[in-house]
Amino acid sequence: MKFSHSLRRLDVPIMILSALISLDMVGEISTFGGETFTWLLVLAALWMIPYGLVTAELGSAFPAEGGLYEWVKRAFGRLPGSVATIMYWSINPLWIGGSLAFISTEAWSTYISPIEPGTGGDYAFKTAFVLAATAVTLLALERSRSIFKIGTYLKVLLALFFLGTTVFYGIAHGFHGVGSLTWSPTMTGFLGLVPLLLFSLVGFEVPSQAGDEMQNPQRDVPRGIALGGLIGLLSYALPILALLLVLPPEQITGIAGFMAAVETVFGIFGPAAPILVKIAVVAFIVTLAITGATWAVAANRALTVAAADGAFFPYFGTFDPRRQAPVRVGVLTGAVALVFMVAGVVFSQGDNAATFTVVLTITISTSLVAYLFVFPAALRLRTTHADTPRPYAVPGGRAGMAVAAGLTTFWAALGVWVAVFPGTLEPLFGLDYDFVEIWGVSRLKFEFFTLGTLAVLTAIAALGYGRGRALRHAEPTEPTVLSTAY
């Protein structure tokens, strides 16, 4: 089908920031103290820069709908493209129905109206959150991009207001973190922070999943990545630094760290503080829903193109003709998110904090597995598609691409291992690791949930690829249009 060119120049960095900035991660990664900031700067140089260079080349040289699938398919074939796309898509229902729904519920329950875990109200709130995020994915990109702007502006405004308030709070009450923080990096912090920071600093390829809906991807993708990366890094670094300086380390908790800091510094507003905190909570929850929706809008397109190309169930290879949106995959995303949300509540037995950390780990593992296909694909395409014009190319020729792809692949592989098998590398460095104390569940239960999720996703990819066999032998293999709107 012929898509409308809905994504203009400024929409590209907006979409990147809508996906990249997730304030729920600020509290989780800040639990490691001052070295969080140190490792963030290290990964900004050794992960964000090469990651941005690689995706800028891929998105500008190979602009197509379902970008990630097309990149991996061109480099390695349909089956690897299918597996990579399934892993990439699975981030969204697991994240929306998992950590995002849980942390939103916790924030509402703590600061606005109590919600008892495992009750009808708990299920109702989480269900409403999932449905709201899913609804955005069913809209035409012309409309959903306006929602991305709202989410991005809310995040930036909330971060800026928090920073400004923190300065005044520090002047009036002092900065508790000054003198008590240790900024020196440690191996414990490195192994614990790597998957969290990597997951926080991804999203450059998101607009490229709608490559056929961009006005000028050759120009806008590299510029959008540069601008989005800079603003995104500052949006993490400054709130993290402020949070560490405002709160004593023992008060920083993964599931409520950012909002706890907001509540503390907003105290300088006196009687108006409770109202301002409630407004901040609502804005916080809205931004979480939009962040999840942004990722889903992108990944749903990649999965739809894979299905239309015979690499997944052909039923899902359709775009709604009126909305030009992958409605069938969008509905699938919402349904899986709801199922995963229910499983998360049952699994945690009402413990939101334990579920948050476990589900976040599963989300990290699936997302980083997808990148293990993307970065080597970028290097291989330098050989298999050497004649393809590259409006932007990673500096240094093939050697420069090899360095950038090698660095990003290394970090992704390390992140996957640490996320799926936590505590297995620590003994190599003589470090103690109490699994039950850290995760709140046994290793057997954790690995069953994590490896089981990955196994199910792989099986779905293989089954979907098998069902697309007939379509793979049909020509042309283009995304089809539904004859009637939903």
pLDDT above 90 covers a percentage of the chain that reads 58
CB atoms within 10 A of CB 389: 8
| Residue 18 located in a structural domain | yes
Dihedral sign for Cα atoms in the order 377, 383, 389, 392: positive
Higher pLDDT, 47 or 349: 47
Total structural domains within the chain: 1
Burial class (CB in 10 A: 0-12, 13-18, 19+), 221: buried
pLDDT recorded at residue 442? 83
Is 70 exceeded by the pLDDT of residue 287? yes
| Residue 38 located in a structural domain | yes
Rounded Cα distance, 86 and 67, in Å: 13
| Residue 425 located in a structural domain | yes
Higher pLDDT, 462 or 15: 15
| Residue 486 located in a structural domain | no
pLDDT in tens, 370-399: 999 999 999 999 999 999 999 999 999 999
Rounded Cα distance, 216 and 372, in Å: 28
Confidence of residue 477 (pLDDT cuts 50, 70, 90): very low
| Residue 6 located in a structural domain | no
pLDDT recorded at residue 440? 75
Higher pLDDT, 255 or 171: 171
368 within 8 A of 415, measured Cβ to Cβ: yes
Residue 36 lies in domain: 11-481
| Residue 24 located in a structural domain | yes
pLDDT recorded at residue 249? 66
| Residue 3 located in a structural domain | no
- Average of per-residue pLDDT across 293-312: 95
Give the CATH number for residue 272.
1.20.1740.10
Amino acid at 246: V
Is 50 exceeded by the pLDDT of residue 38? yes
- Mean pLDDT in the chain? 88
Q: How many CA atoms lie within 13 A of 189 on its CB side?
A: 18
Is 90 exceeded by the pLDDT of residue 220? yes
315: which DSSP letter? G
DSSP labels for 328-381?
HHHHHHHHHHHHHHHHHHHHHTT-HHHHHHHHHHHHHHHHHHHHHHHHHHHHHH
pLDDT in tens, 230-278: 999 999 998 888 878 877 666 676 656 678 888 888 989 999 999 999 9
pLDDT recorded at residue 255? 57
pLDDT in tens, 315-368: 999 999 988 999 999 999 999 999 988 887 876 665 556 666 666 677 777 888
- Average of per-residue pLDDT across 17-43: 87
Q: Using only the alpha carbons of the chain, give its radius of gyration.
A: 22
Give φ, ψ of 65 to 5 degrees: -60, 135
50-54, 118-122, 302-306, 436-440, range with the lowest pLDDT: 436-440
| Residue 2 located in a structural domain | no
287 within 8 A of 158, measured Cβ to Cβ: yes
Is 90 exceeded by the pLDDT of residue 182? no
